[in-house]
Amino acid sequence: MWLLYQFPLCPFSRKVRLLLGEKGVPYEPVRESPWKRRDEFLDMNPAGQTPVMVHSERGPLRPLIDSIAICEYFEETVDKSAMISGTAADRAEIRRLVTWFDTQFFRDITGPLLFERMEKRLVHKMAPDSKALREAMKAVVAHLDYIDYLLDNRSWLGGSTMSLADLAAAAQISVADYLGGIDWKSHGQAKRWYIGMKSRPSFRPLLAERMEIINPPADYEKLDL
Amino acid sequence: MWLLYQFPLCPFSRKVRLLLGEKGVPYEPVRESPWKRRDEFLDMNPAGQTPVMVHSERGPLRPLIDSIAICEYFEETVDKSAMISGTAADRAEIRRLVTWFDTQFFRDITGPLLFERMEKRLVHKMAPDSKALREAMKAVVAHLDYIDYLLDNRSWLGGSTMSLADLAAAAQISVADYLGGIDWKSHGQAKRWYIGMKSRPSFRPLLAERMEIINPPADYEKLDL
């Protein structure tokens, strides 16, 4: 069995979990809090970040580390539900958008929300900074505008079929949504796409999980936003 | 002909250029200063970052954006000198290390050095912050230790053959070295590996380039450090 070291609000672990769900790869989540910098975890991954995957019986000798490397690994080894498909140019566009959500969306929205509303409360016992929260909310509008723009021209974010770009985006948005950061007002197209993502069986286990102390808004799990 | 939008000290463009050099793909560098946020460049890449590649005649309709997506594109379309090769587990290890150098090395060393010694001088007309520089120099020791550790067990950083991991590492190190950030003292193994990288034909055009106003140390181009 694959073990996946993660915590419920890690957006990069969520991206991997959505991919594993779509591909039907069974795994067992193992709770890891990277901010505790546990020695055994740092020995596995010197970068100190989730997700990390190891196989309890067979599988690669080394742990799989880094969400991009993990997604490419399962894309290469499991044929079912290809998530980086099409021509080389199509695949480049999918990978560009994965980086866009992993990096830009995370830097502007998910990262600040996790720091202000999770880490400060859980680790530092501090109140969130309202200026940082306001800036993240402003960035949400720009990012949802961009998703609307992509969906004006395509059925899915990365092209004509569902891809890792949709999973990366939904993973980040779901964490921001859990932390009360998403306002869908005047983003009907993005909202319809996200409801579609939420209805997928791969999404259900993620929506059912809770992070200690922190509760999501009432409509977090709902399919009619 | 491929056009590559970049500036001489962009470590991510350097990684792509090393890959193109190893694979024998001709390209023409086009100077772009992402900090100027030129409208036409933002229209091409909303993330506003180099490298971006376009083909002047044929090639994909959309620009290639993001250094990881670009490297995977040429790895998929050009057979010569495979740089992400081996088993799926080997390829995961190569990709993990690419992320390590792109993210951790950049965050700890290249990013701060570029900000303090290039951007502050070029854009803000300010002196560098000596505390930030000291911290980057301290991080260099830890990162060269890690490279030594990898080379204790392998011929190249990512495994038994040269890979994208070596190119990603050499790209970051070469920029840090240009900015006076690398001290090889007591890192003989890492130093020998880097001299080997510097001697490759793919590296020569990079070492010959200069960034306006900013000059590299005297031994920057030397092969006997």
Q: Provide, as residue numbers in chain B, all residues whose Cβ is less than 8 Å from the Cβ of A60.
A: 87-89, 92
Indicate whether B95 and B204 sit together in one domain. yes
Please indicate whether, in this complex, the C-beta atoms of A72 and B92 are within 8 angstroms of each other.
yes
Please indicate whether, in this complex, the C-beta atoms of B65 and A89 are within 8 angstroms of each other.
no
Domain boundary among A44, A77, A110: A77
**Could you tell me the pLDDT band of residue A59, with boundaries at 50, 70 and 90?**
low
Domain boundary among A57, A77, A97: A77
A interface with B, Cβ–Cβ below 8 Å: 46-47, 60-62, 64-66, 68-70, 72-73, 76-77, 87-89, 91-93, 95-96, 99-100, 103-104, 146
Q: For residue B61, what are its two tokens?
A: 């309709």
Q: For residue B198, what are its two tokens?
A: 């510097």
Tell me whether residue B38 is in a domain.
yes
Indicate whether A142 and A196 sit together in one domain. yes
Asked whether the beta carbons of A148 and A190 are under 8 A apart, the reply is yes
pLDDT at A132 over 90: yes
Please indicate whether, in this complex, the C-beta atoms of A76 and B91 are within 8 angstroms of each other.
yes
Size of interface A-B (CB pairs under 8 A): 84
Q: Provide, as residue numbers in chain B, all residues whose Cβ is less than 8 Å from the Cβ of A159.
A: none
Per-residue model confidence as pLDDT tens for chain B (225 residues): 999 999 999 999 999 999 999 999 999 999 999 999 999 999 999 999 999 999 988 766 789 999 999 999 999 999 999 999 999 999 999 999 999 999 999 999 999 999 999 999 999 999 999 999 999 999 999 999 999 999 999 999 999 999 999 999 999 999 999 999 899 999 999 999 999 999 999 999 999 999 988 999 998 988 876
Indicate whether A95 and A159 sit together in one domain. yes
B interface with A, Cβ–Cβ below 8 Å: 46-47, 60-62, 64-66, 68-70, 72-73, 76-77, 87-89, 91-93, 95-96, 99-100, 103-104, 146
Tell me whether residue A215 is in a domain.
no
Indicate whether B114 and B22 sit together in one domain. no
Number of domains comprising chain A: 2
The per-residue pLDDT for B59 is 65
- Nearest CB to A69 within list B47, B69, B96: B96
Indicate whether A55 and A163 sit together in one domain. no
Q: Which residue has the tokens 């070596």?
A: B166
- Nearest CB to B88 within list A65, A76, A100: A76
What CATH code is carried by the domain that includes residue B145? 1.20.1050.10
Domain boundary among A77, A108, A126: A77
Indicate whether A45 and A121 sit together in one domain. no
Q: Provide, as residue numbers in chain A, all residues whose Cβ is less than 8 Å from the Cβ of B91.
A: 72-73, 76
- Alpha helix locations (H) across A100-156? 111-113, 130-153
Please indicate whether, in this complex, the C-beta atoms of A92 and B69 are within 8 angstroms of each other.
yes
Tell me whether residue B40 is in a domain.
yes
Tell me whether residue B82 is in a domain.
no
Q: For residue B142, what are its two tokens?
A: 């830890």
Domain holding B66, by residue range, is: 2-77
- Nearest CB to A91 within list B61, B72, B88: B72
Tell me whether residue B213 is in a domain.
no
Indicate whether A48 and A71 sit together in one domain. yes
What CATH code is carried by the domain that includes residue B62? 3.40.30.10
Tell me whether residue B214 is in a domain.
no
- Nearest CB to A88 within list B65, B77, B91: B77
Parallel, antiparallel or unpaired: strands A27-31 and A2-6: parallel
CA–CA separation, A181 vs A109, rounded Å? 8
Q: Which residue has the tokens 């900013």?
A: B214
Asked whether the beta carbons of A67 and A16 are under 8 A apart, the reply is yes
The per-residue pLDDT for B225 is 65
pLDDT at A224 over 80: no
Indicate whether B107 and B173 sit together in one domain. yes
- Nearest CB to A62 within list B93, B99, B146: B93
Q: At what angle do helices B67-77 and B11-23 cross, to 10 degrees?
A: 10
Q: Provide, as residue numbers in chain A, all residues whose Cβ is less than 8 Å from the Cβ of B58.
A: none
**Could you tell me the pLDDT band of residue A225, with boundaries at 50, 70 and 90?**
low
Tell me whether residue B219 is in a domain.
no
Indicate whether B104 and B197 sit together in one domain. yes
Give Cα B108 distance to the centre of its chain: 14
ipTM score for this prediction: 0.95
CA–CA separation, A208 vs B178, rounded Å? 50
Indicate whether A120 and A189 sit together in one domain. yes
Indicate whether A145 and A73 sit together in one domain. no
- Give the C-alpha distances (Å, rounded to integers) separating A186 from A113, A141, A144, A189, A190: 22, 9, 9, 9, 9
Please indicate whether, in this complex, the C-beta atoms of B60 and A96 are within 8 angstroms of each other.
no
Indicate whether B107 and B40 sit together in one domain. no
Tell me whether residue B129 is in a domain.
yes
Q: Give, as one character, the DSSP assignment of residue B205.
A: H
pLDDT at A106 over 90: yes
**Could you tell me the pLDDT band of residue A223, with boundaries at 50, 70 and 90?**
confident
Residues A194-211 pLDDT 10s: 999 999 999 999 999 999
Q: Which residue has the tokens 């900090």?
A: B35
